[in-house]
Structure formats: C-alpha cells, structure tokens
Structure 1
Amino acid sequence: MRTGFAAAIALTTLSSTVCAQSSVTLYGTVDTGLLYQNTSALSYNTAAPNTGHIFRLKDGGIYTSIFGFKGIEDLGGGWQSNFKLQGAFDTTNGKSGLGGTAGVASLFSQVAQVGVAGPYGSLTVGRQIIPMTYAMAYTDVRQGDYFGSIFTALVSMNTAAGWPGTSTNAQLGAVFDDNAIVYASPNFGGVTASLEFAPGGVAGQAQGGTRESAVLQYDNYGLKLGAAYYNGHDTNPTPTSVATGLNNNRFYYAGALYTINGFSFSTSFSNGRNPAHSKTTNFDMISGGFGYRFTPAFELTSGVYYIKDENNSANKSTEFVLGTDYSLSKSTTLYAQVGYVDNKGKMNQSIEYGQPVAPGVDTTAAMIGIRKRF
C-alpha cells in the first residue's frame, strides 16, 4: 500500500510493541531512487544559475529515510504517557538531516517529543511535526511526497520567499517546530482540532521567536477536509540574526480530499505572507490532484501545483506530476514518477525536494526507486 508523507508518519504508530503495559519500539524506513533532471541549480537562491542536467542517486522519492524510537506506558483509567524520537538521514551518504539551527545536522531532526494522552485528547511537548503539516498531507492525493506534491509546493513557496535551505525553519508556514506544545482533541464524529504554541525562549521578549497555529480536520464517509492557520515571529533565524519579535510569517490553508470506488480527488488553496512586509512577500498556492487504485497493491496518482506572486504577476509557476506505486509486500514499495514545472520570472519551484532548479527555467524530472519500512 502506498505510503507518502502523511502515511509514513502515521504508520510509525502501527509497529509491533514489546508488551501491552509498557513498550519501546524501533521503527524506520529506507527510501532511495535514481533521479534524472534536465536542469539543476547549486542552491535555492532565486539568483542561482542553471547548472545543466543531473543524474544521481537520491534519497527520498516518496518520503525521506527515517529511523526512530517510540514508547508508550499505560497509566490506567484510559491514560498513557508516550515519547517519540525520530531523525531523518540521507541514504546516499549516511548524513543526518537538518534541524532548526542553520547549517547544523541533528540526530533527531524531525521529532523529539514527550506527552500524555487520554479521554480528553493528547498533549505533547518538544520538537514536532506540526498539525498544519498533517492537514496538508492528508488532503493531497500525492500525500505530501518528496517528489511533486503539496509538500514540495510549500517548499517552493518558501524558496521564492527567500528560504535558503540551511535549516527547517521556514519563511512561510512550517513543517517542524522546536519548543512546540501541541494539544490534539478527541475525535467527535470525524472532527478533530489541534492547537500549537511554541515559546521562543528569547530573553527580554514575550514574542521573540514564538509560533502558534490552529488546525481543524474532518474525516468521514470518504471525505477529508483540512483548514490551518499558522503565525510565526522571527522565522528562519540564522546564527547572526537578532530576534525582534516581528510577526513575519502568516499562512492559511484549506484543502479537501474525496475517495470513492478507488478514485481520489483533491484540491486546496493557501496563502503565505510576511505580515510586516506583505508588499514584498505574498504568495498564493492552488493545487489539484487525481488518483486511482487499480488493485490493493498498485496505485496511480497525479497533481497540479500552481504558485503565484501577488506582488509581481511575472512571478508564477505551475508543476505537473504523475506517479505510480507498486507494493511488493506490506513493507516494500517500488515507485516511478515524472514531473514537469513551468517557472516564470523569479520562481524556482522544484520537483524533487533537495534538488534545486534555477529561477525562470522549465524543468523535467523522473525518478524510480524503492522504499522499505521496518
């Protein structure tokens, strides 16, 4: 069965446990493929030149390779304590993924959290994959894959806004947040809500480096709906930056996914802007997707992702992607995918995460690979 960004995260909760009362589980995935792209760039800089075609082994055709530990302890009365430590790594060189500090790799680059859960919901604290990320991935036919999806479109909004790719702190929205406190409600007839607050920890400032978000989701009768609001202060800091408490990251998202008789359809709209300087950073993103599952093991998915600069009509980008997945077993998946992006002006929307393209250059990419869960 296909495992994209959302499913890969969710599947970490399905691993076998040591015992019923208290458990610690090791889990992970390894994902590697061959990537060909007819253009490339050395960085996400919006002035980076085209360095020509590239053919390489690339980690993360569906989702990055990860390993982690998680634990659950039954406290009685329907309550449990839990923890999760999860890090990304690159299968081509063994390096750990980037964390929230610019230019610094981190062992547990994605998740380092502890929490409690019970009849009234769950509360987790630490570095986390934030609720907004789940809402976006779960309402995209492509599920937030690392090759052509709502995730790579979000990354491309950020690169257009000046994200240098040296840390996971985004210019617009977010995927991971340090110091996050997240409450997730129980499920009420398919409706769930999540609230996040991340104190900045900046001396002498109440808002320096803070993040806050709210997410509302619905999942029932084959229909998934997601709405997200995110607000950040001092986003994408560098080692030399000074915290000002400036509100410079505001992101809205609304998306829907409907599945019936093997067919899947998705659509979404989002806006990311810098409230303090909206005349320089203000982007819209529109997506659409279609998929069909031929058999339990074989699925085809496609997506269109359009980004435009509200301040400059010359800056716009459209990406088209088509992918297939075939599950050899419950834990092993083969995939093949192809994408094309039409970049105009200074837009540099990329197809595969971690493989930049030059601004204003049309690009085609193709990738085949294998993903193994354990």
Structure 2
Amino acid sequence: MGMTGSAAYAQSSVTLYGIVDGSLLYTSHTMNMQTGQNAGHQFSFTDSGMTGSSFGMRGAEDLGGGMRAVFMLESGISVANGQFGNSNGNLFGRQAWVGLDSSYGSLKAGLQYSPFFLSLYDTDPRGMSYFGSALVSYVNNVYVTGLFNSNSITYTSPEIWGVQASGMFAFGGAAGDFQAGRQYSASLRYHLGGLTLSGALYDGNAGGTAATTPVPSTVEFVGRTLGASYRFENSLTISASYALYKVAHSFDNSVYSGGLSYFVTPYLDVNAGVYYTRDGNEGANHSILASSGVQFFLSKRTTLYGQVGYVNNHGRMDTGLSINNALFEVSGSTVGASIGIRHMF
C-alpha cells in the first residue's frame, strides 16, 4: 500500500533535445589519406563546424528523499547526409547511460564521457569547437577513446568547499583476458568565484568488447592534463592547459595551450586559442595550431559563427584544422576557415 502510494506521487520527466550544425569549410591543403601527400585545397560543406550535430532524450524521476533516477540516450548525426556521425558510430554512440543522482553525488552506468575529457573541456578557450580547438588535438591523437567510454561506471562527488572529484572504470574484457579494453579515469576540480583549476588522468588498454565499435574507441594510451581558467566580471575568460597523450607504439605528444573568450555584447562572443604540440619521443615532430572564432547569437537557440585557423606541421606531425574533413594535415603550413549556423532544440 505504501509503495503504491509513493509511486503515484513520483514526479518524472523526459526531454527530447538536439543540435543541428552545418558549415562551409575551406583549407589551403588537404591530406590524401592513402598516400599522406598533399591533395590540394578544398572547399566543402561540412557537418558540425563548431558543435557535433546530435539528438537525444534525457529523463529523471524523483524517488524521494532528495534522490532521482536519471538517464540519457544521445545519438550523433551528420547533417551532410543524415547518417550516424560525431560518435562511436552506433545508434546512441555518444551517450547511453542510467544512474542515480542525490546530495551524495551522481552514479552512472553505461556509455559516457570520461573525467579526463571533461577536465580538458573545462579549460579549453574555444569550448572544444570542432574547428581549431583542443578537441582537434585530442581526436587527432586517440580518435574517440576517452570521449565515448563503453561499459563504464562513473561516480561524481558533490562540490564541497569548491572541490569536486570524479572517477570512472570501464569494463573491457575478452575471453581469457580481463585487462583487454579496460579503461579508467579520474579528475579533481576546484572552483572558487571565477577561478577553475582542473586536473585529470586516463589509462586505457587496447581490445575488449568496445573494440567492435565502428569508430576506434580503445586506442591504448595514457593521458594526463592540468588546466586553469579565470572568468572576470567583464565577461572575459582566460584559459591555459597542458595535456599529455602517450600513445602505445606511437607518439608521446604534449600539448600546451592558452587563449581567451570575450563577450563583447551578450549576443557576440570572440575567442582565440593557440595549441603547441611536441612529440617527446622525437623532437623533430612538432606543430602549432592557432585559431579564432566569432559567434553571433540570433537567439538563445540559433547562432551564426565564423572561424579561421592556421597550422604548421614539422617532421611526422599531422595536426589538422577540423574534426570533419580536415582532421589530419600535411607537413608545412595550412590555413583554413569555416562559416556556419547552429540551432539547438
């Protein structure tokens, strides 16, 4: 009787949401992925010039006593052709998790972002834009490993005196090899007024059940990051960070970055970032990526944007300008630009 009565008064909600983002992209050089040589300049329509196009559902149910059941199912799509995109290639390949949320923290189980990736997001001056940002360096090094973590469990603590901790363990596993595809990550964040300090680590093995996803999500690598940002009262935010991608049998890349974002008006944001990458195994491999962007908010949901970028690669470094259509670039200098529109619903 008591259980029936409690269920009758439980409050629940389900929300449909999404992002649709399309742009035009120009780059002065393009890498031929078969030969690694310069294939000339390009001018193309590009899905997700600034933010990954996606749609999803999120929901919550009040369980009483300050506890809620929560879930999220999110699919990446391409507005260029309507296929899956901006994900691990599966139907709900961005997020698919269920969990509990309370004053003691949040516990989630399923496909979700790692604390390592979220820590990097916290201090990127360009908000992890799909063009010329820390996200390009991330995906260039390890694809979507650490972004979309299959078979994972995470716990995020409440913020106590400005400090918040998060941890993740992703079960990999294969017959006879428990360590195959095993991934773990942890982060610590401090927030006080306009100041944010963030640090995180990631460690993942190759193989396991997640290795069957269409987009590689079990690249074997060790990741570390430290970053800081400060938001002034005049709407100026400055950021700086360090990230390490130590990829097995490949690069040992350190990425040093810094930049700023400034809201000239509530409707106009200008931002810029610089990202220097160096291979710790071979100093001749290094690159510098510089980019800037302007966002004009037509409304709370619709944004026009423009972005410009420059990258210079030395040795075997192949840093690109854009997640879609220009993730890898040839040796030497390449310039590019992107203009587009984003709508959120």
**TM-score scaled by length of structure 2:** 0.90
Residue number among 39, 48, 73 corresponding to 1:85 in the alignment: 73
Counterpart-to-counterpart distance in 2, 1:272 and 1:353: 17
Q: Which amino acid aligns with 2:162?
A: G
Counterpart-to-counterpart distance in 2, 1:58 and 1:362: 21
Counterpart-to-counterpart distance in 2, 1:325 and 1:35: 16
Counterpart-to-counterpart distance in 1, 2:80 and 2:178: 42
Counterpart-to-counterpart distance in 2, 1:247 and 1:264: 33
Is the Cα–Cα contact under 8 Å of residues 180 and 207 in structure 2 kept in the other structure? no
Per-residue CA deviations over 1:149-190 (Å, capped at 9, x if unaligned) read 1111212333xxxx6xxxx3x3xxx21110010000011122
1:338 equivalenced with 2:280 (yes/no):
no
Counterpart-to-counterpart distance in 2, 1:141 and 1:210: 31
Which contiguous aligned blocks of 4+ residues in structure 1 show a shift greater than 4 angstroms? 235-239
Per-residue CA deviations over 1:210-265 (Å, capped at 9, x if unaligned) read 000101112221011110110011169866xxxxxx99411100011111122211
Which residue of the partner structure matches residue 242 of structure 2?
269
SS of the residue corresponding to residue 119 of structure 2 reads: helix
Q: Which amino acid aligns with 2:288?
A: T
SS of the residue corresponding to residue 126 of structure 2 reads: coil
Per-residue CA deviations over 1:118-151 (Å, capped at 9, x if unaligned) read 1210110111122222211111111111111111
Counterpart-to-counterpart distance in 2, 1:247 and 1:62: 25
Q: Which amino acid aligns with 2:193?
A: Y
Is the Cα–Cα contact under 8 Å of residues 29 and 330 in structure 2 kept in the other structure? no
Residue number among 25, 44, 61 corresponding to 1:35 in the alignment: 25
Counterpart-to-counterpart distance in 2, 1:53 and 1:281: 27
Which residue of the partner structure matches residue 275 of structure 2?
305
Is the Cα–Cα contact under 8 Å of residues 321 and 329 in structure 2 kept in the other structure? no
Alignment of 1:239-318 (within 5 A): 248-260=220-232, 261-274=234-247, 277=249, 280-318=250-288
Counterpart-to-counterpart distance in 2, 1:303 and 1:235: 34
Counterpart-to-counterpart distance in 1, 2:94 and 2:219: 24
Which residue of the partner structure matches residue 177 of structure 1?
149
Q: Which amino acid aligns with 1:39?
A: H
Which residue of the partner structure matches residue 5 of structure 1?
none
Q: Structure 1 residues 353, 99: CA separation in 2 closer, same or farther (over 3 Å shift)?
A: closer
Which residue of the partner structure matches residue 318 of structure 2?
348
Counterpart-to-counterpart distance in 2, 1:238 and 1:187: 34
Alignment of 1:88-107 (within 5 A): 88-97=76-85, 100=88, 105-107=89-91
Which residue of the partner structure matches residue 16 of structure 2?
26
Q: Matched residue pairs, number? A: 330
Which residue of the partner structure matches residue 126 of structure 1?
110
Q: Which amino acid aligns with 2:236?
A: F
Counterpart-to-counterpart distance in 1, 2:231 and 2:207: 36
Alignment of 1:100-179 (within 5 A): 100=88, 105-158=89-142, 168=144, 170=145, 174-179=146-151
**Per-residue deviation, 1:287:** 0.3
Which residue of the partner structure matches residue 197 of structure 1?
169
Counterpart-to-counterpart distance in 2, 1:272 and 1:247: 11
Counterpart-to-counterpart distance in 2, 1:157 and 1:258: 27
Counterpart-to-counterpart distance in 2, 1:337 and 1:200: 39
CA RMSD of superposed structures (Å): 2.2
Is the Cα–Cα contact under 8 Å of residues 157 and 166 in structure 2 kept in the other structure? yes
**Per-residue deviation, 1:361:** 3.1
Which residue of the partner structure matches residue 55 of structure 2?
67
**Per-residue deviation, 1:346:** 1.1
Is the Cα–Cα contact under 8 Å of residues 326 and 333 in structure 1 kept in the other structure? yes
Residue number among 38, 49, 63 corresponding to 2:37 in the alignment: 49
**Per-residue deviation, 1:38:** 0.9
Is the Cα–Cα contact under 8 Å of residues 345 and 359 in structure 1 kept in the other structure? no
